[in-house]
Amino acid sequence: MARRTRTLSRFALAPAAALAALIGFAAAPAQAAAWSSSDQWGTYDTSDGYTLYNNIWGSGAGSQSIWANSSSDWGVWADHPDTGGIKSYPNAKKVVNKPLTSLSSLTSTYNVTVPSSGAYNTSYDIWDSDYDYEVMLWVNHTGAVGPLGSAQGTVTLGGHTWTVYKGDNGSNEVFSFLRTSDSASGTVDILPILKWIKDTKGWWGNETIGDVQFGYEITSSAGGLDFRTNSFGVSFG
């Protein structure tokens, strides 16, 4: 479960050459980006209405730096120890703030470059406006990570097939959808998933959809790993 990322709430960056050698592509160094931060709660508002958030919220975390040129060109370097428990959820957030029944569309596209080691998932984290419900959409994952709650079966929605989990973390209910085939890029039609939760399962009512977040829920990345968002966007109407 990713910690809720309210704007005011939820070691140095490795040299670019070293990172490129480690992960096999030319990572944009933070010092060359429009914005960068290694602060625990570092935030950046983009000109197109997104908020970038470093969001190091778990216990036992190591070092993490985030950089951004825009909402669709940003990345994270993280060096979290090889221990259990989620350390961080660096993400880009778009606020929707519309009741579910008044939404005619809600879609997103993404393209990421992620490491082949470590323990993490690449996921959407969607919240209602009161932060009573959390919907996680895992598009890929690596290492010893797993969703909260118990399995509820498999469903095909929004252009993909998902294994569904339902749980409660003591603060909010969590509905997790794990793609049955990992992907580093694609389009997700989010609205049918949210309507399925309401209309088919009855797990929530006509909630106002608040934040649509997208990022990397990192458990471990010992030695320093790079996560890069090559493109990302949320559209709704």
Span 147-168, pLDDT tens digits: 999 999 999 999 999 999 999 9
* C-alpha span between 78 and 92 (Å, rounded): 16
In the 3-class helix/strand/coil scheme, how is 93-136 assigned residue by residue?
A: EEEEEEEHHHCCCEEEEEEEECCCCCEEEEEEEEEECCCCEEEE
- DSSP β-bridge partners for residue 115: none
* C-alpha span between 48 and 94 (Å, rounded): 9
pLDDT for residue 3: 56
Helix runs in the chain, H state only: 16-23, 190-195
pLDDT for residue 25: 35
pLDDT for residue 32: 82
Report the pLDDT averaged over residues 3-26.
Answer: 35
Q: Of all residues in the chain, what percent carry a pLDDT higher than 90?
A: 86
**And the tokens for 24?**
């096999």
- pLDDT of 188-205, one tens digit each? 999 999 999 999 999 999
pLDDT bracket for residue 1 (50, 70, 90):
low
- pLDDT of 177-192, one tens digit each? 999 999 999 999 999 9
16-236: CATH, from 2.60.120.180, 1.10.10.60, 3.40.50.1360, 3.40.50.150: 2.60.120.180
Q: What does the mean pLDDT of the chain come to?
A: 90
Backbone angles phi, psi at 187, to 5 degrees: -125, 135
